[in-house]
Structure formats: C-alpha cells, structure tokens
Structure 1
Amino acid sequence: MNANQRDEQLFFSEMADVIPLNKGRNRADAGSTGARTPSDAQLARRASAQDGEQESNFLSDEFVDLLPANDPIEFRRDGIQTGVIEKLRHGGYQVDSQLNLIKRPVIECRRELFNFIRQAHHHELRCVMIIHGRGKSDESHANVVRSYVGKWLEQFDEVQAYVTAQPRHGGIGATYVMLRKAPRARQRNRELHQRRRAP
C-alpha cells in the first residue's frame, strides 16, 4: 500500500460516521431543529433592533440590477447645476468624511450607509465618500455592493448628487456624494445674506 492509498483509507475511516447534508440544506437555516433557542433577552434585543430599523431605515432591500463593473456611475437631482456635478466629478470638493463598506455583507452595508448619510447631514457635512471596492466582474461582491449603494443613495432626500471618485480616491471603487445643506446651515446663510442687504 502506497502513501496515497493509506491517506485515502485514513480519510474514509475518519469520515465513516459523517452524515451528508440533504439537498437544499447546504446553508444556515434559522428554523433547523439543531439550532439553540435564543434567550428571552436576545429575542427582546432583536425585536427592538428590528423595530428601530423598520421605523427609520427606508432603504430598499429588493434586488437591484447590477451595474457594469467597469462603468462609472453618476446621479444628480433636478435643479443641481452642471457646474456642481462637474466639480464633484473632478474631485473638486473636500471630502469631509468617508465610509468603508469593503467586504461587508449587503445587509450590513444598508444599515451602515443609512446611519452614515443621516449623521453626515446632521453634522452639516457637504461632501462624503463611500468606499465599496471594485469588482472584476458584474457579479463580484464589490460590484453588487456598488450597485446597491447607487440605488440607495438616490432614495435619500439629503443626497443631491453622486459620481464615481477620481483615481486618487479609488476610482470605480469609491463614490463621491454631495449632500444638501442642513436646515441650520441654510438658515445661517439666509441670515448672512439679510445682514449684507441691510442698509
């Protein structure tokens, strides 16, 4: 008996009592009988988190059409001047903050992006960057996340425009986002203009 035959015999003897998975059960199943039952405290925390998520996070969790992996993306709302989008496209605005979504699950990206955009707007940031990575194919995880990010950003009233980042900031792997001014900032601008006009 040679070494390969001994290894094979040892492998089969070790695997003798292993039961193969049934077809269709090759993924985690929360309803399986072998799973431990969560405690009441865990269930309460989950319910609380889900309630908060449902009340606040309006981002769609439906499937999206995948973007071509190597095509830049761009969006602007009606009324946004072309000069603004051009300056954004050329990286002309200072990036005030960034969110890194590389290799994160899509459901986590949805939650993180929602919180990030809301907080950025609350803190009166104007230009932020989302780093989602660059995939080699349309079906790659990075491109799936990028496709969702493009769809989600359009669902925020706070987002005025977004474009693919410049190569120095990651190119196809990142997106610049222009946020509208927060109400406090708009009020300050109005007051400043009124003071300038006063005799």
Structure 2
Amino acid sequence: MTTKDERLDFLQEMHDVRRIRRPNRADVKAPRELTPGHLERQRAALDQPRRDTNPLTADAVELLTAHDILSWQRPGIQHGVFRKLRQGQYPIEARLDLHRMTVDEARREVYGFVQDCVRYGVRSVLVLHGKGERNPDKIAQLKSYLAKWLPELDDVLAFHSAQKHHGGTGAVYVMIRKSDLKKQLNREAHGGD
C-alpha cells in the first residue's frame, strides 16, 4: 500500500510523460523479398514430390468377403507356435483399429504400427479390420488389403483371423519378429552366441 507522499512523488516525476497515440490498426509490412536460394528450394520442393517409403502395395488386391479367414505364416515358423497364434493363446500386447479408415490411411497406419511394434519389442498384436458386412457388395475392402500387406512386411512372421471373442473374421492376430536388440539380449541372457 502506498502512502499519499509516495503517490505525489510519483505523479511529480511523471508530470511530463505523454500517452503515445497509435492508430487502431495492424502494422502491416510488405513481405520480404525472396532470395534466389529460397526460390530454388521452393522450385525443388515442387519438382520432387515427397517419396513414399511405405513398401505396402497400393495396387488392386484379391477381394475377400466377411467370412473369409486370413491365414499365413513365413517359412520356418514352428507348427506349435502358429497353432497358439491361431487359437489366440498369445497375450495381445497392442491393438490397431482400422475401422472407418480409407485404404490409404490404413496403409500408412499398418506400416507405422508394425515398425513401432518392432521398435518397442511388441510381438503379438491384434488388428481390427472389420468384416465389411454393411457394404452393399459384402466386400471386406480393408481385410482384403491387409491380407496382401502383412506378408509384404519382413517384420511380420505370421497372422491368422482372430477367435470370435476377439472379433472373429473381422480381426487378425499378427506375430511380429523380435527386434535385433531383443535377439541380442536374449542370446546374452541365455548364453547363446
């Protein structure tokens, strides 16, 4: 709290201060001139569209229906391991829901999801793709593309349509390979070379 004398001292010190009057509008300056380097970078960006590094095919695929079962395994996967996957006996460590996505959106999501699974050591996942039963032609479009995409990814070891309680033919169990780091840690822990 200020005293009367302090207030009077302040007013005396400020007696010749005047308010700055500014127009009530924005101070707009002309844009800077673009340098030749800036123009060249713009031209190069327009000439070379961003390269798509996603290996998943965007071409036409064999169309599947709601009740088609997805099943695939890479050579060398043990029968018992694939059977456990098929029966949903591995814990589901992550899920990806593709419902209401376009094919292009799903393509990006599947690719990124599998990469993330490898990076974080996630081995057993569930991908929900839907059955396509509401489509007038009864074609399960995302399911059809997923059946094509998963074998194209080296990190996918096997997949199979899910058990009924996990979505049945509207979902798929996917087994992901171990990351190189996990393999190394496993070898060190168990004394392997």
TM-score, normalization by structure 1: 0.69
Other-structure match for 1:97: 94
Sequence identity percentage: 38
Residues 112-155 of structure 1: per-residue CA shift (max 9 Å, x gap)? 111111111111100011101112269446x1100101110001
One-letter identity of the residue aligned with 1:122: R
Whose helix fraction is larger, Structure 1's or Structure 2's? 1
Q: Does 2:177 correspond to 1:176?
A: no
Q: Does 2:76 correspond to 1:83?
A: no
Q: Which has the larger radius of gyration?
A: 2
Secondary structure, counterpart of 1:104 in structure 2: coil
Q: Distance in 2 between matches of 1:109 and 1:158?
A: 17
Other-structure match for 1:51: 50
Q: How many residues align?
A: 151
The alignment yields a C-alpha RMSD, in angstroms, of 2.7
TM-score, normalization by structure 2: 0.71
Q: For structure 2, list consecutive stretches of 5 or more residues without a partner in the other structure.
A: 1-41
Q: Distance in 1 between matches of 2:63 and 2:117?
A: 27
Query: Given the alignment, which residue of 185, 188, 196 partners 2:185?
Result: 188
- Asked if the contact 1:128/1:176 (under 8 Å) is kept, the reply is yes
Other-structure match for 1:36: none
Q: Distance in 2 between matches of 1:138 and 1:59?
A: 27
Q: Distance in 1 between matches of 2:153 and 2:136?
A: 25
1:80 Cα deviation from its structure 2 partner: 0.1
Q: Distance in 1 between matches of 2:136 and 2:79?
A: 29
- Asked if the contact 2:65/2:132 (under 8 Å) is kept, the reply is no
Secondary structure, counterpart of 1:51 in structure 2: coil
1:69 Cα deviation from its structure 2 partner: 2.6
